[in-house]
Amino acid sequence: MVFSEFVEKNRVKFSVLITMIIIIISRPNYWSIAGGFLVSILGNLLRLWSSGYIKKEKVLASTGPYSLTRNPLYLGNFIIGAGFCLASWQILSIPIFILFFLLFYIPLIKNEERRMEEIFKEEYLDYKKKVPVFFPNLKKFPKKDGFSIKNVIENKEWRGIISTLLFYFALFLKVILFK
């Protein structure tokens, strides 16, 4: 099995593992939890906004947040993870998270780009030339067409929100129980 295939199949398991490690090593306080939670809300809002434009493998998402970055969902994950690191109030969580993110998301993005090129051909290649892979081009104001709350529901974004809430609940319990 190629590493990129391993990543594709196991990213959720490793995300849970990294999250558990961050919880275990954390030294949270109420302020770190509040600050991290606010950052994570931004990441979840970006994911919700982004998922409203996805019609998986049917239509190339290129409007809304997809006009700023080719991977707004992963940027949302990165922002959520940054919030987790802040909330943990443990400096070690930062290199752990960044290493995980680089090891898993770079191959994942490359795999998805190959798949998108196969499906959408020239349309994707043209899009790829205009829009950055990860860090958004904030000079371009996103087009508003294409968002659908139905897509948000179909793409099951509620799972990420529940995961985020569970993380903060665990940290909150840690503060209360081990203070």
Task: Confirm if 73 and 44 have CB atoms less than 8 A apart.
Answer: no
Please spell the DSSP secondary structure of 56-108, one letter per residue. Answer: TTTB---SGGGGT-S-HHHHHHHHHHHHHHHHHT-TTHHHHHHHHHHHHHHHH
Kindly report the pTM of this predicted structure.
0.89
- Of how many residues is the chain composed? 179
Cα distances from 134 to residues 79, 82, 102, 110, in angstroms, run 12, 15, 12, 12
Mind listing the pLDDT tens digit for each residue in 96-118?
A: 999 999 999 999 999 999 999 99
158: pLDDT strictly greater than 70? yes
Residue 96 amino acid letter: I
Mind listing the pLDDT tens digit for each residue in 115-153?
A: 999 999 999 999 999 999 999 988 776 666 777 777 778
At 119 the pLDDT is: 92
